[in-house]
A and B are shown apart, each in its own frame.
Chain A
Amino acid sequence: MGLLSYYLRKIFSIVRGEILVLPSRVVVVLFFVTLIAFPVLIDDPYLMRILTLASIFAILTASWDLLSGFTGQMNFGHALFFGVSAYTAALLNLHFKIPPWGTIPLGALAAVLTGLIVGIPCLRLRGTYLALTTLAFPIILMGIVFALPDLTGGELGLSGLERLAKSRMLAYYISVITMGVVVSLMWKITDSNTGIIFHAIREDEVAVRAAGINTTRYKLLAFCLSGFFAGIAGGLYAHYMRITGPSTLEVSMSFQVVIWAVFGGVVTIWGPVGAVFILFPLLEFFRFWPEFRLLLFAFVILMILLYMPEGLLPWIRDKMENECPRCKIRNVATRKTCRICDTSIH
């Protein structure tokens, strides 16, 4: 009993001292609580479907940020990982009857392998060359998909996959919890030593090499990690939609990922995730005016970028919080003094 109250008090003090002090942390906690509680409160299949797909795309977009935002390896063909994994999962499920919990990790492994195959030629390229070359890979694969309709279903794709879960609610929870775990994992990676090296490679690769770090290995690692997480998203998508078509490899898919990530603010992991949860429902909302849907979407993006070129969420965060000039700890914008070292912020 004493132990229980000790832990309760500890949790309470953590919530008060670490979460309630910063509005951004409160928002993150509220976001996850809402996601978990949502199907219990509102049982609307349409909204649940939007949130499930948003979670899946959030994984994909965050994995793009891990590779392109952090390591600076501009990838314009992120749909490749997504598509390879979706097709692998579909083929394994249809031909070998492997259930979803087996096909999704195997699809992710296939995406890791793709990451290696793509990463090796891309190691020699930088900047715009890299961006335009990576754009080519999904298109090459799409040509092969169209040329082998017996295996891949051609234009119609592969349909009739096993459901992700028996009930709609279970599928929702699987996607949302996978999203939470995978995104936290990515956030942890970017916070670790490896993440710092990724950061440094983007800023100055020569300097990193001069510091005795094998940048080639880390760049390949970034490709593989990003491929793995994007692969998980691809497998989830294939089993949730129960169909895998060439649309998973399209250029617009790759562009969509870049739009989401840059809109939300790159090099944050949480930015792209938030952006997907804002933009994906927004695009659905614009369905009320079907002919103006994409036009409004593009216009919103253009306007936001014009005033917040760093991305929407970092901009909002900077309005709500500022950094202590001495100890670099973030504080609520309303505070006069730093909450740790008591220096005056203004």
Chain B
Amino acid sequence: MISDIILTTLINGSTYALLAIGFSLIFGVARIVNIAHTAFYMVAAYCIFFGTHRLGMHPVLAMLMALIVVVLLGLICYKLFIEPIREHEAAVLIATIALAMIFQEVMLLIFKGDYRTVPPLVPGYMDLAGVKIGYQQLLTIAAALIILAGVWAFLIKTRLGLAIRSTAQDREVANLMGMNEARVAMLTLAVSVGIAALTGAVVLPLTVLNPHMWMAPLIMMMAVVVLGGLGSLKGSFAGAFILAFSEALVVFLIPKGAFLRESVALSIMILVLLLRPEGLFGVYFEEER
């Protein structure tokens, strides 16, 4: 029981953390609330499914293809639909909802609404204190942690990461310092969508594929982002594991807990917000001038 809870927490927590970091990056830099973020994750999962099952590609190659396809798709959508209306915040919001709906419907048309699964990269499991732990689960956790570390290093160590962080802090001053704000926003979108695609690739063997799979993580991702504080990487990380842990506790310990899973996680988020309106590690964004 305890190890089940820990395992579920680790897997869900790292998924949520990856999604939430991508979401809060693009929010921080471009002030875009990207509802379609998890839809990109769904598209990536389908790309891999298509690559391995229809084209017979090697899974790793398929993952690479999915990453490239999704990043390109994200950039095209941004250029065509988001950038022309960026100054109208409400319109951008609806545009991203519409994009998510379009992705869902296109996937429904191509792959139909069937529930599909993908075989694990590494089959087999090991026995740890009486609990079966699949190698794929371990691989997922490890890969997620590596990606998290990679994103962290990218943001802290590289010049582009510095540009992204400074634009998130103050768009106008960053612009004055010679950073091309529009280009930083575009690159951030590419990075954020790329993280979503990698998340899809990593958790794909553990989940069931269907065109509606973007809804559930969307809600949890938003809860994580709000709980941890918008635009804070540390916050997204902590928030993801807090919510994943509470979810796992509810599912395993309370009868009928699966129904209350989201309710409890979201109630925790609201309670935290009552005490700290800017989230756990949130920085108050200064009013836009």
Give chain B interface residues in 190-222, CB to chain A under 8 Å.
215, 218-219, 222
> Is the CB–CB distance between A262 and B109 below 8 Å?
no
- Taking CB as reference atom, which chain B residue is nearest A131? B33
Q: Which stretch of B41-49, B86-94, B132-140, B143-151 is in the interface? A: B86-94
For A153-174 the 0/1 string (1 means CB < 8 A from B) is: 0000000000000000000000
User: Do A302 and B81 contact each other (CB < 8 Å), given the known contacts A143-B262, A259-B97, A309-B91?
Assistant: yes
- Taking CB as reference atom, which chain A residue is nearest B103? A298
Give chain B interface residues in 260-287, CB to chain A under 8 Å.
260-264, 266-267, 269-270, 273-274, 277-279
Residue A295 CB within 8 A of the other chain: yes
Using CB atoms and an 8 Å cutoff, list the residues of chain A in contact with chain B. Answer: 121, 124-125, 128-129, 131-133, 135-137, 139-144, 146-147, 251, 255, 258-259, 262-263, 266, 291-292, 294-295, 297-299, 301-302, 305-306, 309-310
Q: Which stretch of B6-14, B59-67, B115-123, B223-231 is in the interface? A: B223-231
> Is the CB–CB distance between B263 and A140 below 8 Å?
yes
Using CB atoms and an 8 Å cutoff, list the residues of chain B in contact with chain A. Answer: 27, 33, 35, 81, 84-85, 87-88, 90-91, 93-95, 97-99, 101-102, 104-106, 108-109, 215, 218-219, 222-223, 225-226, 230, 256, 259-264, 266-267, 269-270, 273-274, 277-279
Q: Which A-B residue pairs are the 10 nearest by beta carbons?
A: A143-B263, A146-B259, A136-B266, A295-B105, A309-B88, A298-B101, A309-B91, A298-B98, A309-B85, A124-B277
> Is the CB–CB distance between A301 and B277 below 8 Å?
no
What chain A residues lie within 8 Å of B266 (beta carbons)? Answer: 136-137, 139-140
What chain B residues lie within 8 Å of A263 (beta carbons)? Answer: 94
What chain B residues lie within 8 Å of A302 (beta carbons)? Answer: 81, 95, 98-99, 102
Question: A291–B112 Cα gap in the complex (Å)?
Answer: 10
Shortest beta-carbon distance from A76 to chain B in Å: 9
> Is the CB–CB distance between B109 and A291 below 8 Å?
yes
What chain B residues lie within 8 Å of A121 (beta carbons)? Answer: 270, 273-274
> Is the CB–CB distance between B109 and A147 below 8 Å?
no
What is the count of residue pairs linking A and B with beta-carbon distances less than 8 angstroms? 123
What chain B residues lie within 8 Å of A139 (beta carbons)? Answer: 219, 262-263, 266
Instruction: Tell me what chain A mostly uses at the interface: helix, strand, loop, or mixed.
Output: helix
What chain A residues lie within 8 Å of B27 (beta carbons)? Answer: 128
What chain B residues lie within 8 Å of A144 (beta carbons)? Answer: 260, 263
Cross-chain contact of A140 among B87, B102, B105, B267 (Cβ < 8 A): B267
Cross-chain contact of B215 among A136, A251, A262 (Cβ < 8 A): A251
Q: A125-B277, A262-B90 are in contact. List 12 more A-B contacts (CB 8 A).
A: A128-B230, A129-B278, A141-B263, A143-B261, A144-B260, A291-B109, A292-B105, A298-B99, A301-B98, A302-B95, A309-B88, A310-B88
User: Do A306 and B85 contact each other (CB < 8 Å), given the known contacts A147-B259, A258-B93?
Assistant: yes
Cross-chain contact of A129 among B102, B109, B230 (Cβ < 8 A): B230
Shortest beta-carbon distance from B281 to chain A in Å: 14
> Is the CB–CB distance between A298 and B90 below 8 Å?
no
